[in-house]
Amino acid sequence: MRGNNTMLKFIKHHLSTLGDVDVFAIASLLIFMAVFIAMAYYAYFTIKKDQADELSRLPLEDGIDGQIENLNPNNHEVQ
């Protein structure tokens, strides 16, 4: 744990010696917001409804073509 504290002090020291550190925080926030708004615009206006419905079902489907694979925890097929 001592190494982590030393590294943290090293980082804090160098960040405190930088001038106008607040500019970096504001710039990173603006970049994040721009990317977030761009992705929201893309998702809302450019993706077709049927494509969005297909993508929304992906995490719920198991196997190939939506077929559920019956596997037990030991990774053996259940019969």
Distance CA 10, CA 4 (A): 10
Number of domains the chain contains: 1
**Looking at residue 47, what is its pLDDT?**
84
3's CB contacts (< 8 A; 6+ apart) are none
In a domain, 72, yes or no: no
In a domain, 23, yes or no: yes
In a domain, 78, yes or no: no
**Looking at residue 13, what is its pLDDT?**
76
In a domain, 60, yes or no: yes
Provide the whole-model pTM. Answer: 0.45
In a domain, 79, yes or no: no
Instruction: Show the tokens assigned to 71.
Output: 């596997």
Could you read off the pLDDT of 23-71 as tens digits, one per residue? 888 889 999 999 999 999 988 888 888 888 888 888 776 655 555 555 5
Distance CA 32, CA 47 (A): 21
Print the domain residue range for 13: 2-66
Could you read off the pLDDT of 5-22 as tens digits, one per residue? 777 777 777 767 777 767
**Looking at residue 17, what is its pLDDT?**
74
